[in-house]
Amino acid sequence: MHHALTACPVAIHPVPTSKCFFGRSDDAIHELTFHVWIVRGPHGVGLVDAGLPPHADDLAALRATDEYRDVTPLGDVLAAHDLVPADVDWCCITQPVTYHSGGLLPELLPRARVYLSKAGIAELLCDPPGHPPTALYFTARSWAFLRELAIDGRLHVTDGPVEVVPGVTFETTGGHHPGSAGVRVTTADGLVGILETAFLQANLDHEIPVGVSEDVAQCRREIKRWKRTCDLVVADHDPGLAARFP
């Protein structure tokens, strides 16, 4: 069951070295790129992540905490690739934070199944540590939509690994955040792992945990495990992904 992957940049977020690499600190600024991945295969069209919030008030709340520029909302991403919201069959969220979950809205995902990390939801509901701020897990609009999804039987809250469709697996990985997750996709070139637990290619190449890991050891373990079990692992915020997966 081979799938085609397209990495669509939806925002740029500049951060210092200390946030990208555990134990390192210098004056360099790294431009993390946020992506929505389009996955096309024999069982329809899916998304990995839903981008930043499309509504101005929700986006302003996110920008009040950090800089995000060159923002492209999910609706524009779909239109640019000749898709309409009703074409999307499923959506996996790799971290329950509004820069990944902002597009979880009924008008953008009218029929899709949604997959979220149980560990991330449990942290929000039971023991929020302040990373990220509780208000930034989901917008009020997305939180209301999650209720609709649950009632419709389209919400899957799991730590996995769980098969989304044949050839696509969603799994909580933790490390950066308890709700950080990864998605494995079978492609014509082998098994590709999209890993939010790693920010940049250098995290993978040198097996360095991200600097804002809530569990540094878990972050390192998952990077090593995914490199061992996938033909190719990509770090979800690496700016080179759009060129590799056009």
CB atoms within 10 A of CB 214: 17
Q: Considering only CA atoms, give the Rg of the chain.
A: 16
Question: Partners of 34 in the beta sheet?
Answer: 11
pLDDT at 1 over 90: no
Per-residue confidence at 65, pLDDT binned at 50, 70, 90? confident
Stretch 141-159: mean pLDDT:
98
Q: CA 235 to CA 242: how far, in whole Å?
A: 12
pTM over 0.85: yes
Of the candidates 38, 36, 46, 42, the residue with the CA atom closest to the CA atom of residue 2: 42
Query: How many CB atoms are closer than 10 A to CB 239?
Result: 15
pLDDT score of 246: 93
**Reading across the β-sheet that carries 155-158, which strands appear in turn?**
4-16, 29-41, 44-48, 88-92, 113-117, 155-158
* pLDDT greater than 80 at residue 131: no
Number of domains in the chain: 1
pLDDT digits (tens, 9 = 90+) for 104-124: 999 999 999 999 999 999 999
pLDDT value, residue 71? 97
The answer to whether residue 132 scores a pLDDT higher than 90 is no
Containing structural domain, residue 203:
4-244
- Going by DSSP bridges, is the β-strand pair 29-41/44-48 parallel, antiparallel, or unpaired? antiparallel
CATH number of the domain within which 13 lies: 3.60.15.10
Query: Per-residue b/e over 112-122, b at no fewer than 16 CB within 10 Å?
Result: bbbbbbebbbe
